[in-house]
Chains A and B, each alone.
Chain A
Amino acid sequence: MTITRKLAAVLFLSSSVLGLAHADTIRMATEGAYAPFNFMDNAGKPQGFDVDIAKALCAEMKADCEIVTQDWDGIIPGLMAHKYDAIIASMSITPERQKAVSFTDPYYSNVLAYVAPKDEAFPIAKADLEGKTLGAQRATIAGQYLEDHLGDVANIKLYDTQDNAYLDLASGRLDGLLSDKFPAYDWLKTDEGQGFEFKGDDIDIDDKIGIAVRKQDNALRERLNKALSEIVANGTYAEINAKYFPFSIY
């Protein structure tokens, strides 16, 4: 009795593990803390650009999709542990991550932009930034960009969270900050962000955002790629893009 039960349990488990790549329920993880790309709405459901893209892809693939949320620190380990099958959480494609997971084609490109008070002329030329105080979040590409390019002329301040950098920009401690452009666009729409605007051209840092899947799940990766190129071609992508940004982020 117990042996048959155990056997059944083992069979059930292994079939569910092995069958994932082929089963037509695809579980996708997002973080839920990176507005407007992924965030929790008032009902506690994940929303945002990433989530909409995920739903559009699933509709295109004619698959059932389940969106789960997972903290950022554990999001790749959770994928490896088969808690879900793909990560769509505005994840940059980096060589370090590619050692652990494989990525689909990029579904958008991240760029950096300066944010500064509307009424101040903000010089982008390096020589004119001498003595200015510029902020960014620590351990981000923006922070590294500032240190590498302006560390010798400007006073660089690095913050634990993006929100703290916004606070100091609003209080006038910072002459300007450098950040990922799209989340900053969201902040500029808030009450606190009213006196500020983007300055200068976007900085292209070749930061491509992709969907991560386990290395062995190549079939799923191909399906996602195919669906992605289709939603870009048929205008669904542009529709979702327009819902969040008045400019193309593809």
Chain B
Amino acid sequence: MDQLHTWLMSMAGDAEPWASYAKYLPKLLDGAGLTLQLVVVSGLIGVCLAIPMALMRVAKSPWVWGLPYAYIFFFRGTPLLVQIFLVYYGLSQFEAIRDLGWLWDEVLSQPYWCAIIAFTLNTTAYIAELFRGAIQSVPRGEVEAAQAIGMNRYQQYRHIILPRAFGIILPAYGNEVILMLKGSALASTITLLDLTGMTRNVIARTYMSMEFFLLAGALYLLIAGAIILLFRGLEHLYSAQHRQPRLAAKGLDPQLRDQHLDDPS
């Protein structure tokens, strides 16, 4: 970042407002790095937690689906800002929490981990609900076929239902990651210097709100673009796994192609 700063400054010279951009762009990039980190870490933990939660959620017994139902209801039904404040400012009100030793010193007193916890809890609820929908929309016939060849419940989930659900969920999950990217701007309210927090600090100093908010917006757009591309790639890879070798000869008049051979799904 220091090298980038020196280089930008040499390009900009003393010309206002270019000198300001050169001076503060590396800071904004630092902030973007933290934003990306928050989204990736909470997104990955979120998926891991969401799978068992979704499986519980589709169970028949209310004793099993009751808890995940309440969890999802709460975290989808309250604003992310409220959740962050509850984790960061709320928990710290209690003496008992502050006396937790390591857990307080290294985790709950740190804004970084509070943000990760809040984002993870929030995104888990959304992803679990996506998974529930995906599991329930796996075609009935495929499950019956699995039963017919003698698969037990575990095998059905392992080999048929979950792989299908992953495929169904991917586009919606990409959407959720982008929502999380934008939601992560709220990390700035608990003193984290993510892209938004850094931008607000820079503006408090330079009073160039229009310029730096536009710059921050452009950086968010770049990150969102990268996420979209990543998920396009994933969707492509995933459907390739399930794609059978194309049977149709190339260059044939499409009118003559046999539709069900071209498109095995």
Task: Report A's interface with B, CB cutoff 8 A.
Answer: 135, 138-139, 143-144, 147, 157-160, 164, 167-168, 171-173
Docked pose: A167 CA to B204 CA in angstroms: 22
CB-based closest 9 A-B pairs: A171-B92, A139-B204, A157-B191, A167-B89, A173-B109, A138-B204, A160-B189, A159-B191, A172-B98
CB distance from A149 to the nearest CB of B (A): 14
Docked pose: A157 CA to B190 CA in angstroms: 9
- Cβ of B201 < 8 Å from any Cβ of A? yes
Please tell me if the beta carbons of A144 and B204 are within 8 angstroms of each other in the complex: yes
Q: Among the listed B89, B92, B189, B204, which residue makes an inter-chain contact with A143, where contact means beta carbons less than 8 Å apart?
A: B204
Beta-carbon nearest neighbor of A172 in chain B: B98
Chain A CB count within 10 A is highest, among B98, B191, B200, B204, for: B191
Main secondary structure of the interface of B (DSSP, over half): helix
Docked pose: A158 CA to B194 CA in angstroms: 12
Q: Give 1 or 0 for each of B188-210: 1 = CB within 8 Å of chain A CB.
A: 01010000000011011100000
Beta-carbon nearest neighbor of B97 in chain A: A171
Please tell me if the beta carbons of B205 and A144 are within 8 angstroms of each other in the complex: yes
- Cβ of B78 < 8 Å from any Cβ of A? no
Q: Among the listed B89, B109, B204, which residue makes an inter-chain contact with A164, where contact means beta carbons less than 8 Å apart?
A: B89
Please tell me if the beta carbons of B191 and A171 are within 8 angstroms of each other in the complex: no
Docked pose: A138 CA to B190 CA in angstroms: 12
28 CB contacts below 8 A, A to B, read: A138-B200, A138-B201, A138-B204, A139-B203, A139-B204, A143-B204, A144-B204, A144-B205, A157-B111, A157-B191, A158-B201, A158-B204, A159-B191, A160-B189, A164-B89, A164-B189, A167-B92, A167-B93, A168-B89, A168-B92, A168-B191, A171-B89, A171-B92, A171-B93, A171-B98, A171-B109, A172-B92, A173-B92
Chain B CB count within 10 A is highest, among A144, A167, A168, A173, for: A173
CB distance from B22 to the nearest CB of A (A): 19
| B residues less than 8 Å from A159 (CB atoms) | 191
User: Within residues 65 to 112 of chain B, which ones have a CB less than 8 A from any CB in chain A?
Assistant: 89, 92-93, 98, 109, 111
| B residues less than 8 Å from A173 (CB atoms) | 92, 109
Docked pose: A139 CA to B205 CA in angstroms: 7
Docked pose: A235 CA to B93 CA in angstroms: 44
